[in-house]
């Protein structure tokens, strides 16, 4: 059970000795570095345009830094293991200083922004979000630099259900799969039997069902096993404690709703109006997360989740007060990893092939020895 507890947060690779055994040994990029850059922006433009069309979103500006007092920075989980970069702006000779943080994600900010941009039910926003997460172990698909399509859609109370969540996820998958089809028309070498394409349809499973199938395995190993059978899945209900006493993964208590009671397709009681899209990466031969998303907390479920997480003191923040007082819209939203998506669609072995950031010397040398050329 200790392995299960350790598997609740973090990337799951703990050393470069382990990573050396995981990186592919027979890799050759299907695109040159120059072709890769062209393909990246084809995918980017396709996803932004079509995600906005499918979900009725508009592109908006998004912050890189936020005021600490706002409480809108994303803590990513509820165990305190991932903390944002914080700095002091002395401003006006310390007469009017600002304590700021670099965002880790724009999850909370987006919901506040729905009100700022006067979004009504059925309308929403999409952002080209950049962030820094300094507490990751830097491996093949985890970077200190994060780029996401962070999106948020205003909804009504009667849309806070599993059916509506599922409909939105299917639209999102249609866009991702469409981007793959689009870029393969421009770069036909991306279609190869060596690395199968993404499936046309997602398989929807609840975290509890996956635990039932693999009760003795930690979370990431359960995901790896199920992806052998279904290479693209959406996992419902991430954050609620499962029957073994552990959540599928830790989730922050103040954005996704993971406590609401739901029913499975065959009528069994479940919890959670959120989840993740995971795919099998045939290049790395590993699980590959593309997006986390969910219907957001309302006043009732926010209080319950903060109580379960022992974080009721958060209720003093403006963001949390806005939810309690029904001052901002009910919503659904998520973050689609841009570089993660490029890596999957362009059939790359490493995030560094599609994004420019910092990597330790040991990792760059390891990649070079395996014909994986990270961008400098």
Within 13 Å of residue 211, how many CA atoms lie on the same side as its CB?
19
133 an active-site residue?
yes
289 an active-site residue?
yes
Q: Are 289 and 337 in contact (CB under 8 A)?
A: yes
Predicted local confidence at residue 107, as pLDDT: 87
Close Cβ partners of 171 (under 8 Å, ≥ 6 residues apart): 54, 55
Predicted local confidence at residue 266, as pLDDT: 87
Tens digits of pLDDT across the chain (376 residues): 446 666 655 556 779 999 999 899 899 999 999 999 999 999 999 999 999 999 999 999 999 999 998 888 877 666 667 889 999 999 999 999 999 999 998 888 999 999 999 999 999 999 999 999 998 899 999 999 999 999 999 999 999 999 999 999 999 999 999 999 999 999 999 999 999 999 999 999 999 999 999 999 999 899 999 999 999 999 999 999 999 999 999 888 999 999 999 998 889 999 999 999 999 999 999 999 999 999 999 999 999 999 999 999 999 988 999 999 999 999 999 999 999 999 999 999 999 999 999 999 999 999 999 999 999 9
Catalytic residue among 101, 159, 292, 331: 292
Predicted local confidence at residue 74, as pLDDT: 78
Catalytic residue among 104, 143, 148, 355: 148
Predicted local confidence at residue 105, as pLDDT: 87
286 an active-site residue?
no
Catalytic residue among 42, 180, 256, 276: 276
74 an active-site residue?
yes
Catalytic residue among 74, 77, 223, 353: 74
SS3 of residue 333 by DSSP? strand
Predicted local confidence at residue 9, as pLDDT: 54
Pick the CATH number of 30-369 from 3.40.1080.20, 3.40.1280.10, 3.30.930.10, 3.30.70.100: 3.30.930.10
pLDDT in tens, 159-199: 999 999 999 999 999 999 999 999 999 999 999 999 999 99
82 an active-site residue?
no
Catalytic residue among 133, 160, 222, 296: 133
* Beta bridge partners of residue 331, listed in sequence order: 154
Q: What is the DSSP string of 129-160?
A: EEEE-TTS---SS--SEEEEEEEEEE--GGG-
Q: Are 348 and 354 in contact (CB under 8 A)?
A: yes
29 an active-site residue?
no
Catalytic residue among 160, 289, 331, 340: 289
Q: Domain ranges in the chain?
A: 30-369
Element (H, E) at 169: helix 162-186
Predicted local confidence at residue 1, as pLDDT: 46
Residue 20: name the closest of 374, 375, 362 by CA: 362
3-class SS string, 68-132: HHHCCCCCCCCCCCCCCCEEEECCHHHCCCEEEEECCCCHHHHHHHHHHCCCCCCCEEEEEEEEE
């Amino acid at each position: 059970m200790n392995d299960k507890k350790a598997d609740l947060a973090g990337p799951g690779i703990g050393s470069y000795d382990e990573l050396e055994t995981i990186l592919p040994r027979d890799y050759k990029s299907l695109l040159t570095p120059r072709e890769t850059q062209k393909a990246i922006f084809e995918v980017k433009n396709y996803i932004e345009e079509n995600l906005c069309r499918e979900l009725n979103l508009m592109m908006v500006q998004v912050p890189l830094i936020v005021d600490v007092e706002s409480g809108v920075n994303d803590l990513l989980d509820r165990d305190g293991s991932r903390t944002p970069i914080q700095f002091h702006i002395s401003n006006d000779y310390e007469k009017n200083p600002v304590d700021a943080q670099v965002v880790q994600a724009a999850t909370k900010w987006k919901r506040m922004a729905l009100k700022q941009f006067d979004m009504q039910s059925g309308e929403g926003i999409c952002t080209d979000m950049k962030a820094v997460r300094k507490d990751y172990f830097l491996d093949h698909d985890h970077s200190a630099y994060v780029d996401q399509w962070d999106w948020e859609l205003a909804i009504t109370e009667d849309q806070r259900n599993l059916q509506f969540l599922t409909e939105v996820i299917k639209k999102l998958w249609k866009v991702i799969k469409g981007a793959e089809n689009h870029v393969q028309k421009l770069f036909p070498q991306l279609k190869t039997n060596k690395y199968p394409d993404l499936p046309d349809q997602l398989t929807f499973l609840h975290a509890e069902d996956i635990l039932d199938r693999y009760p003795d395995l930690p979370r990431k190993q359960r995901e790896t096993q199920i992806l052998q059978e279904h290479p693209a899945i959406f996992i419902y209900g991430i954050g609620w404690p499962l029957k073994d006493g552990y959540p599928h993964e830790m989730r922050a208590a103040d954005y996704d709703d993971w406590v609401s009671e739901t029913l499975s397709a065959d009528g069994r009681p479940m919890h959670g109006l959120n989840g993740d899209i995971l795919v099998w990466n045939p290049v790395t031969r590993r699980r590959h997360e593309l997006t986390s998303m969910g219907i957001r907390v309302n006043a009732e479920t926010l209080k319950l989740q903060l109580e379960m997480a022992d974080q009721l003191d958060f209720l003093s923040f403006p963001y949390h007060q806005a939810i309690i007082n029904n001052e901002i819209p009910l919503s659904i939203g998520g973050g689609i990893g841009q570089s993660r998506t490029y890596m999957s669609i362009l059939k790359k072995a490493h995030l560094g092939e599609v994004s420019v950031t910092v990597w330790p010397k040991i990792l760059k040398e390891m990649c070079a020895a395996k014909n994986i050329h990270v961008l400098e």
